[in-house]
Structure 1
Amino acid sequence: MTQPSVTHWDSPRADAEPPRRRRWTLRSRLVLGIVALLAAASIVVGLVSVVALRGFLMDRLDDQLLAATGRTQPTSEELPPGGALGYPSRPSFGVQGPGTMVALTSGDVARAGVLTSDGTLDLLDDAHAAVLIGITEGDGPVTVDLGGELGEYRVVARELAPGILQVTGLSQSEVNGTVAQLLLVIGVVALVALAAAAAAGLVVVRLALRPLDRVAATAAQVSELPLDRGEVALAVRVSDDDADPSTEVGRVGAAINRMLGHVASALAARQASENKVRRFVADASHELRTPLASIRGYAELTRRGGYELPDDVVRSIGRVESEAVRMTSLVEDLLLLARLDEGRDLERAPLELVGLLADAVGDAHAAGPDHEWSLEAPEGPVIVNGDVNRLHQVVANLLANARVHTPEGTAVVVELSERADGVDIVVRDDGPGIPEKLLPELFERFVRGDSSRSRVAGSTGLGLAIVRAVVEGHGGTVSVASEPGRTEFRVTLPR
């Protein structure tokens, strides 16, 4: 029997996306490329210089070694009969410089000494001299390590007698020291040069990419324009200097200018289409008001005329009247939105908000007595400049929205607070909340909180659109935040 799999919420998911690596900027990559090329060139130049100098110094040392070999003359005391080797003596060195090494080897026996700086001989022990065993006359100058303080020696052998070799050597310490000093100088100079090149490259690249920064700034400026609605004058363009097709950045700038031209044409066409639709809606709404008023009036006249009509006819006339009322409200809302889009239908005058909110809350209590309504406002008057009827409609729409979309017993609080540059009106309820996917488009036209089209729960979806249009017409903002158990609409108005 298989065990059910258990998912641990704190364990990493197998299909979780790995963290994205931070990408390098173009400026950083260019500077790094410049420094890398200079570093590679410095390494190549340094290696070639060191190899060439070391070869030159070794050739010179070999010439000196061959000359020193000819000046070495072992004495008969150093080569006794019977092949028993003695140690080199001072006369055998001839005219040599300090550090010259002379050795005699025969089979597996080696005797060696080094001329010191004070002219005396420093005889090597058998262990150090043993490294010279095996060097033959045909080997030419070779390098051996005598160990200890002596270090590396360049040595060459010549045959003095059958089975007996003389090995002469010169120290490589001067050559090695010169090469090491050159390496140090090259390294220090290369590091300083790379640091200077990085700083200079950063400045040069920054200057070279300045046109690209200006192109990016133009694109960023366009991205901040409100292109989603309204009439947009898209006059922002990349300058002619940065749109020269003969340069790489100029080609990018020219392409952006062409794209902005196409976008401006599309926005103009869209705005023209929207204007036509708005004019049609305004004209149609205006023309529909009169026939709707006539239908409503005749239906009401028939209902109140005292005629003996069948019940089904009375019910039908009542439905005609109620539908005419609903249609009239829809037409009025459409006409109001059309006028607000044109910047009309708003009056500006000082008004007192506390009384306006108190009246709106009272009306909401009468329309929804099964909800709990409350108002929190400052003691004194709060004065703003605006249209009293439209602001009353804003609050009424928000309260109606809370009443329609929350169950009985929901507490709805209207809060008024003052700020230095304006006032905040908050309508808050403890209802079930608004679906998260609906929040981004909640203030769009014809957006409903549910898909119902019933006359009780459904709506046309224009209430919150009117709220936003009126608030923005006053120079303010409206926002919503919602979660289960708390929904808050916040209207901010300037003074």
Structure 2
Amino acid sequence: MSLRTRLLAALGVVAIVAFLAADVATYSALRSFLVQRVDQQLQQADAGLGHQGGGPGPGPVGSDHPYGDPEGGRNNALPGGFLEIRDPQDQVVGTSVPAVVGPYQTAVPRLPLHITGLQQSGEGEPVRYMTVPATTAGAPQFRVRVSERGGNQLILALPLSGVSGTLHRLFNIELAVTAGALVAALLLGWWLVHVGLRPLRRIEDTAEAITEGDLDRRVPGDGARTELGRLARVLNTMLTRIQDAFSQRDATEARLRRFVADASHELRTPVAAVAAYAELFERGARERPEDLARVMAGIRTETGRMGHLVDDLLLLARLDQGRPLQ
């Protein structure tokens, strides 16, 4: 996997996590806000019932208006809601089904047989809020408020259909926005990675040119105060030293070739002289003492000269091999 692919994959993972976290936070915050509004409606309905003629009174179970004269407005305190009164023995003494119109008009909350856990609130009475499912399959949940009135439990409930609808629309919006934002983030990330890796491509091009023999090439952008700029400076310094080393090697090889040529020329002269003296010796110089002495002296001189040249060559070989001089 290339560096660009890994960077884009990491960016995609981070973007997905960030978008999901934002979506979940938004969804949770909106749901909490909407549920609090429903709780406020239930509280206001409870307060409205408390101010109507001494509070709710028992009525026949299943009656549409168990709390009194409908003309008095008592049963209109919670439009579309569910009301129920239980005595201290958890027996239902009054109930009112919500007058809702729609596919779930017969849906009522599935309440526990015994409701406990009421806590003292700022309203001055024990209260408990909870969310329960409906008795009808597929119907929205209900938000329930349970309070105590004169030893009885007053249960008020409102369907969360509006909350569910709003949250469903929010989910669809978040899904579309997140998908679009993720695509935009990936495109922006691809462009940023493309621009960010451009110096690396220049380094790659420079390295390829150097491998082809162009030792004068240098990495551009070594003046930037970035990580890639520092890398370019280090590489250029290394390339300069490598080029200097190659230049020194070429100069050394040139000097060696000149030395070998000079040594060959210098060796040719004493060798030719020794050959001439040998020929002179064969032509009769050995029978003439003065010529023989001159021949032997010449041979000794030329062989000494060749010995010095051989010693110089041996010294050069030892220096080239890194062996210590004696």
TM (norm. structure 2) is: 0.65
Amino acid at match of 1:182: L
**Equivalent position amino acid for 2:42 in 1:** L
Bigger Cα Rg: 2
What letter matches 1:94 in structure 2? N
Counterpart of 2:311 in structure 1 is none
- Offset from partner CA, 1:358-411 (integer Å, 9 cap, x none): xxxxxxxxxxxxxxxxxxxxxxxxxxxxxxxxxxxxxxxxxxxxxxxxxxxxxx
User: Are 2:56 and 1:89 aligned?
Assistant: no
What is the alpha-carbon distance in structure 1 between the residues aligned to residue 96 and residue 174 of structure 2?
37
Cα-to-partner distance string for 1:142-178 (whole Å, 9 max, x where unaligned):
222344344422112344554x322111112322332
Q: Does 2:53 align with 1:64?
A: no
Query: Aligned pair 1:109/2:86, yes or no?
Result: no
- In the alignment, does 2:245 pair up with 1:263? no
Q: 1:269, 1:51 → 2: CA distance?
A: 73
1:366 is matched with which residue? none
Secondary structure at the counterpart of residue 156 of structure 1: strand
Which of 278, 287, 299 in structure 1 is aligned with 2:257?
Answer: 278
Instruction: Flag structure 2 segments of 5+ consecutive residues without an equivalent.
Output: 50-54, 68-73, 119-124, 282-326
* Equivalent residue, structure 2, for 1:170: 158
Q: Tell me how far apart the structure 1 counterparts of residues 65 and 156 of structure 2 sit (CA, whole Å).
A: 14
Percent of aligned pairs with the same residue? 31
1:249 aligns with 2:214: no
User: Which of 156, 168, 172 lines up with 1:184 in the alignment?
Assistant: 172
1:155 alignment counterpart: 144
Would the alpha carbon gap of residues 44 and 291 (structure 1) be closer, same or farther in structure 2, given more than 3 Å must change? Answer: same
Q: Residue 245 of structure 1: CA displacement?
A: 4.3
Does structure 2 retain, via aligned residues, the 8 Å contact 1:74–1:88? no
Distance 1:124 1:255, change over 3 A: closer
Deviations 1:103-127 (A, max 9, x none): 23232434755324249984869xx
| Of 39, 46, 49, the match for 2:26 | 49
Q: Which runs of 5+ in 1 are unaligned?
A: 1-21, 79-85, 226-232, 303-495
Q: Secondary structure at the match of 2:167?
A: helix
**Quick one: structure 1 residues 182 and 132, their matched pair in 2 at CA, closer, same or farther if it must change by over 3 Å?**
farther
Q: CA deviation at 1:74?
A: 5.2
Moved over 6 A (4+): 290-299
Residue aligning to 1:442: none
What count of residue pairs does the alignment treat as equivalent? 261
Per-residue CA deviation, residues 85-114 of structure 1 (Å, 9 max, x unaligned), is x33433547115664111232324347553
Structure 1 residues 118 and 55: alpha-carbon distance in aligned structure 2, compared to 1, 3 A threshold: closer
Distance verdict in 2 for CA 1:207–1:53, change over 3 Å: same
Give the direction of change, closer, same or farther, for the CA distance of 1:246–1:116 in structure 2 (3 Å limit): same
- CA deviations 1:431-466 (Å, max 9, x no partner) are xxxxxxxxxxxxxxxxxxxxxxxxxxxxxxxxxxxx
Counterpart-to-counterpart distance in 2, 1:198 and 1:76? 64
Partner of 1:493: none
Deviations 1:159-216 (A, max 9, x none): 4554x32211111232233234323322331222111111122112212332332122
Q: Provide the secondary structure at the position in 1 that maps to 2:143.
A: strand
Could you say what the CA RMSD is over the residues aligned between the two structures, in angstroms? 3.8
The one-letter code of the counterpart of 1:201 is G
Higher relative strand content: 1
CA separation of 1:113 and 1:51: change in aligned 2, threshold 3 A: same
Pair 219,97 (structure 1): closer, same or farther in 2 beyond 3 Å: same
Contact 1:102 1:113 in 2 (8 A): yes
Please tell me whether the aligned partners of residues 71 and 94 of structure 1 are also in contact (alpha carbons under 8 angstroms): no
TM-score normalised by structure 1 residue count: 0.45
Structure ranking higher on relative contact order (CA contacts 8 Å, 6+ apart):
2
Structure with more of its chain in helix, by fraction: 2
8 Å Cα contact 2:127/2:147 also seen in 1: no
- Partner of 2:76, secondary structure, is coil
SS in 2 for 1:243: coil
